[in-house]
Amino acid sequence: MSEETWLAARLIPTSGINGAEEQERRATSALLAVMSAVREFGRVLTQSLGAPAGTVQTFIEVPFKIGNQQLFPDGLIRIKRGQRQWTALVEVKTGSNALRTEQLEAYLDIAREQGFDALITISNEIAPVPGQHPTAIDRRKLRKVALYHLPWTEILTQAVIQKEYRGVADPDQAWILGELIRYLEHPRSGALEFSDMGPAWVQVRDGVSAGTLRAGDSAAADVAGRFDALIRYACLRLGRRLGTDVTPALSRRDLTEPAARTQALVNQLSTAGTLTGSIRIPGAVGTLQVTADLRAGQIVCQVDVEAPRTGRPTTRVNWLIRQLKDAPETVRIEAFVIHARGGGATDLLRQVRSNPATLITDPARELRAFRIAQSTLAGTKRGSGRGAFIDSVLTAIDDFYEQIIQNLKPWMPAPPRLRTPEDVTPVQPVAASLVSTAISSQDNPEFDNSTARDSNSANGGQREE
């Protein structure tokens, strides 16, 4: 038998998974075990949840009794540091299984009775806004117990960033973390990617095309929320490749009032047929803005770049063109001038390369910024794969970052240079009687101090009248 058919032994095997219950149990046990074994990974996951930095202990299927009912939360995390102890219950879902409100509220009751600090939920659901929970919960049950949600995608992203970019001190622990990554990336683990725009997608898509979608339609709110979740998933996916924390660019109001953000997207979808989102990438020249135009069937990615503050208009345009030498010629560039309202001169990159003056409407007016945009076809299917809306958005974001944003650098003024003797403008000779006896950096460098002393001696130390 050929060795190519042999399966390598794994610390966390994917073989033998039968059904959703076994899938959830194995994923929970693997995750919690690695959190306690790899100190850096356990810390990065619990730090944002308010846990102290200390020894991590983990348990699975801990029994609790509430009334006459016996309940078994999937897991429990306990962290001790000195006299302080932080404890959280864990509820896990894999595959397409969704979190259930009644189950979470029962676990919140248990946590409150036991004096625990939090309930952590893990599933493939992604909340539209970071910090928001994807399941509706009675807010009164959160008075003494905090509720947190970690998508499997975020857990996988943090694992990859910690192992590949931040590092793990112990080589054996790094190998253990690598085994968890390998397990979560396997299709049978149940840690799925974002793959569905929801059952309301077709209705909303057709309503936008026909012009019949209304702001009050509940289907529009569902699609708007899933689009925000898609943008957040794209951030996690891109951050996993870059090794940094890529996040949605949201205002403070969006974070504190996610319902208002969703309603704004619904209004935009019903009036203009578009959905918009922004991505903040550390070190990038600007925010990556994404617009899904369902009427035109296009995905538009764009970034705004400040123009240089010195030089002629053509010099500033050429500064940008040099950085876009590897960009597709169909990229669209728009130039904005200072104190101007509305849009500026716009043309495709292939035209600007041959004639930079196409972006200059008035040579006397100073350019202040450029907008670089790229349009691609939008998929129509609700799921993932060829011809799907999700894949078209993810591909557009990845390509725009790779071909354009990562090659752009902000303009920096040249540093001041020291003057050389050749740069000093020669001065006219000055009468010896008018020259101070103390040499200054402002005096003629050819002037000899001894000449001034001889002059003063000849005059008896007195100035000529």
Name, in order, each residue with C-beta under 8 angstroms of 423's C-beta and a sequence gap of 6 or more: none
Helix (H, G, I), strand (E, B) or coil at 279: strand
In our burial notation (b when 16+ CB lie closer than 10 A, e otherwise), range 10-49 reads eebbbeebeeeeebbbbbbbbbbbbbbbbbbbbbbbbeeb
For residue 36, give both structure tokens: 């306690």
DSSP-derived letter for residue 430 is -
Give residue 172's Cα distance to chain centre. Answer: 30
Gap between the Cα atoms of 291 and 313, Å rounded: 29
Say if strands 146-151 and 118-123 run parallel, antiparallel, or are unpaired.
parallel
Question: How does the average pLDDT of the chain come out, rounded?
Answer: 88
For residue 1, pLDDT beyond 70: no
**pLDDT score recorded for residue 217:** 87
Instruction: Read off the pLDDT of residues 166-216 as tens digits, 9 standing for 90 and up.
Output: 999 999 999 999 999 999 999 889 998 888 898 999 999 999 999 999 988
Q: Calculate the CA dihedral of residues 393, 399, 401, 406 and round it to 10 degrees.
A: 180
Distance CA 97, CA 55 (A): 32
Dihedral of CA 6/11/14/15: which sign?
Answer: positive
**Could you report the per-residue pLDDT of 56-108, keeping only the tens digit for each?**
999 999 999 887 889 999 999 999 988 899 999 999 999 989 999 999 999 99
| Residue showing tokens 């609790």 | 64
Q: What is the pLDDT of residues 349-386, one digit of tens each?
A: 999 999 999 999 888 888 999 999 999 999 999 888 88
DSSP sequence for 290-312: EEEETTTTEEEEEEEEEPPSSS-
Q: Give 10 or 434, the one with higher predicted confidence.
A: 10
- Taking only Cα atoms into account, the Rg of the chain, rounded to an integer number of angstroms, comes to 32
Amino acid in the structure at residue 345: A
